Structure 1
Amino acid sequence: MISHEETMRLIALAQQGDEQACTTLIVENTPLVKSIVKRYLGKSVEYDDLLQIAHIGLLKAIKNFSAQYDVKFSTYAVPMILGELKRYMRDEGYIKVSRTVKSLAAKIMKYTEELCQKGETADVEKIARHFDTDVTEVVFALDAMRRPVSLYETTSDKEGKETALVDKLPSDEDKQMISKLILKDMLSKLTERERKLVVLRYFRDMTQWEIARKMGVSQVQISRMESKVIKKLREMYDGD
């Protein structure tokens, strides 16, 4: 297993067209790819086909990853790989959310709501640690939460009372949404300046004043830019 520093070096080379660096990254991340592909076995689809589709997602992750995202490459790559598999499976009519994933999704909603009430935020890695699971499991659950059908399905509490998952969404929607979107390949559709704003504001918890000083603009400009970015992300999110 290569170090984070070596991974970053190889990504930089691969993005410059170095085929050997790209090949090394693919080989190093193949175990991750295979672990994700296993989720889709038993659905009358060829393993090799899924593996090929998953590697397309990995290649996209290598192409689009940036150190500015302030997350591990594997954390960024998982939803990219899932995205490719999801599109393929959806087109083939194989998509189905399991009860286990729905259950974890409901628990994540409750957990993030509790954190929001405390004024705290939760990224994917923090959620994974809390539930003693891996990032892949969390991303599957987050992806399930984004589907309208799963959002409106009901779950029962200890007293047998049924509540729709959508009713459990945290009130701090902007922050929660962006935490998910950064893992959903949305940042790649923003400008470099907009991506930097999102990372500094939502993942490094910098104030608008701090970001303004860092980017050499006024706080008012940052405020306007943030509003514009959130609107843009919401449109992409709703249109997915």
Structure 2
Amino acid sequence: MTAQTDIVGQLVEFPTMRGCPATAGALPWIEDGRKVAPKDARALSRLFFDQLQALEEGSREHQYARNTLIAMSLSMVRFTAGRFRNRPEDMEEIIQVGTMGLIKAIDRFDLSREVEFTTFAIPYIVGEIKRFFRDTSWAVHVPRSLQERRIVLAKARETLTERLNREPTTTDLAQYMDLTREEVSEAMMASNGYTADSLDVPVGDGTEDGAGAARTDRLGSDDPGMAAVENLQVLKPLLAELGDRDQRMLQMRFGQEMTQSQIGAVLGVSQMHVSRLLTRTLDRLRAGLLTQA
């Protein structure tokens, strides 16, 4: 649950403010606005809005009126949120977000508009929910312009499929949407960021070889042998630059796996001298590898 929706919970948890007198100014006392029938709520809302505009903001009476209006209107939020019941998001989260839209509508409603509060509030509730989907439902962050173009693309594809009796091509979509092919392709790629599948979900229909295996079973991994091949290719010209003795010494040490004492015996030098020569040569090769990298 987000910090924003936690605030909503605090606002509607105690809609009537315990400790208020049996009336709040000219307002009737309502113990729990959530239990008021929708028909009665519509009649009471006008009275509460009328007093809300007259009460001093921040006063106990103002808070009582505002919180009671929120509580009495929650059924409208639940009804509106029901339009999105097929969404993957948790319904309770959608209701909480819709309640934020309701609160904005209550704070901005003016009786002088001479419109029903329901007519005024529902666009706020729907807008807040859709903004929530737009900003949080994408599995990969996508610029808002591309998010909006994805919606237009989906509608265009549906229209053209029905009109052409086939799947529209990128060119068809570009002409219909008055966009370039590159812009349409970009919108198609953006659509892939809307949802994400688990790597553990089996792929295939069970008839092909390896069907039923998870995506993770088909993912490649780094082959340490490839790095060795690359290093050898870089080393070849560096080795060619070494003198005959250094090349021979490396061959005996790493090709024939001879000890430093054995190499010293072959070359007629001490084991300590072989160690110094190997260190110098390897340092030179290492520096060459780092330069190439």
Classify the TM-score, shorter chain.
Answer: 0.3 to 0.5
| Higher RCO (CA-CA < 8 Å; seq separation 6+) | 1
Using structure 1 for the length normalisation, give the TM-score.
0.38
**Of the two, which has the highest radius of gyration?**
2
TM-score (norm 2): 0.32
Is the helix fraction higher in 1 or 2?
A: 1
